[in-house]
Amino acid sequence: MRRFSIDTTVTGHPRLRFTTVLINIGAGPMVAYGHSPVGNGDLLVDQQIATSGGALMSIPSGFHMYFAGDGHHHWHLRDLETYQLQNSAATLKRISDKHGFCFFDDVGFNLTLPGAPQSPVHQKADCGTAADTSVTMGISVGWSDRYDAKLPDQYIDISDLPAGEYTLTATADAQGYLQERCEGNNSTTAILQITGTTVSVVDRGKASEACAA
């Protein structure tokens, strides 16, 4: 996480904004295939995993995709990431209203990893349009997807939050829907000092390296 700031809505509500980066350092691409519209307009989602022979194997997941008119006008995977802010005593907790994620090969992270393509494979356009009834989005090995602080819903409302030190946690796949080589590096934290409409970084933190080997 990076680029912490606080803005204020026209109605006077302060919001903690921040940038997050979703990184794939796994053994294969992270691919979600949305299909089969359900009654509320969502798509069911399968995880597609490349086998040793190169074929794709589809595994049903608990995720859904939904089409959002938040200015992006494309499909989103629902609740791929969650954001939570809490004080040291865990007696105060705030969560983000952000639920939609369109992910793709946005920024190269470590293109020396085995299987990492040297140019983007998954594109923003893969997130589709309203007319689509099947959507495939993904992040290649060695690539990352950045969610900038200025994006819609990329914040936590901190109205009436007392001044103090807080821990901000971003977690990918909190529900455990995706099959991964290792689950130990899905969260990252930062410790922030928040006072009114100002924020400073106490400890920038970093993601767990439990899966680095």
Q: What values do phi and psi take at 126, rounded to 5?
A: -65, -15
194 inside domain: yes
209 inside domain: no
Q: How far apart are CA 138 and CA 146, in angstroms?
A: 13
213 inside domain: no
Q: How far apart are CA 188 and CA 107, in angstroms?
A: 19
In the predicted model, is pLDDT for residue 213 greater than 50? no
211 inside domain: no
List, in sequence order, the alpha helices (H) in 109-199. none
Q: Is 103 exposed, middle or buried (0-12, 13-18, 19+ CB in 10 A)?
A: buried
Q: Look at the chain and report how many structural domains it folds into.
A: 1
Q: How far apart are CA 168 and CA 20, in angstroms?
A: 11
Which domain range does residue 92 map to? Answer: 2-203
212 inside domain: no
55 inside domain: yes
Query: How does pLDDT run across 20-45, given as a tens digit for each residue?
Result: 999 999 889 999 999 999 988 899 99
Burial 128-139 (b: 16+ CB within 10 A, else e): beeebeebbbbb
Q: What amino acid is encoded at 165 in this protein?
A: E
88 inside domain: yes
Strand partners, 59: 47
Query: How does pLDDT run across 116-173, given as a tens digit for each residue?
Result: 999 999 999 999 998 999 999 999 999 999 999 999 899 999 999 999 999 999 999 9
Helices (H) and strands (E) counted in the chain, each on its own, are 0, 16
Query: How does pLDDT run across 194-206, given as a tens digit for each residue?
Result: 998 999 999 987 6
